[in-house]
Amino acid sequence: MRFLILGDLVGRPARKALREVLPEIRAEVGFDAVIANVENAAGGFGITRKVYEELVELGVDVMTSGNHIWDKKEVFEFIDETPALLRPANYPEGVPGRGYGVFKKGKSKFAVINLMGRVFMDCVLENPFTVFDRLYEEVLKETRVVLVDFHAEATSEKWAFGIYADGRASVVYGTHTHVPTADECLLKKGTAYVSDVGMTGVWYSSVGMKAEGAIRRFLTGLKTRYEVEEKGQVVVNALLVDVNEETGKALRVERIQRFV
């Protein structure tokens, strides 16, 4: 199977860019399924039902998230009804939504596990390493093709997890920092890895937000309201991965960057 994996989508500019770019990439290289991190898809913070439905219409098959998944309170009204929308699986028991799923495209099955790191993140989270162990055994009953969105701040934690899951996960890809890393590779035991896919959002910005707010905060130390940057060229960062369905091993990984 061939997967197109999109990093954090930031607001309306990202959704508009996908409408143009996804058909182009499909025509050029083809792919079987699209996975995107959507925790910043609605106004830069969280996701709404309307935005979820728009992304489905655009062709996104599975939507992952992270610490901003709860920013739009209406998500509590529909997250249990939308199996294609995931929240980190290592939130404590009782939190709404699903942290993983097994999905089908044509005759092919694949699993997506959404995890969040703990370094510089939320301390109430369960250990993502041990949660992966448990969920991997569960999804392995249905498919060997297993993708993990590891939503985390620290590159060291992402790399450690990639090596920990090497040979079990088909793909481990980082999200959250919005900055693409140049370390995409096939690990020794067959897992495709990248520390961060990057974002889809306005390029000349502070991680998709208006730079003025971020600069003001760095200058003064005072909290500032961030707003999505709506003007300027949009960068689309993605990962293209080929996976052998029988073995679950990754065969090829390629970083994609387009400007719209």
Three-state SS at 15: helix
Cα 15 → chain centroid:
15
How many CB atoms lie under 10 A from the CB of residue 92? 8
d(CA 40, CA 90): 20
Residues noted as catalytic = 68
Give 93-99 contacts, CB < 8 A, sequence gap 24+.
Answer: 97/69, 99/131, 99/135
**Which helix (H) or strand (E) covers residue 57, if one does?**
helix 49-58
218 in helix, strand or coil? helix
52 token code pair: 């979820």
Terminal CA-CA length for the chain? 27
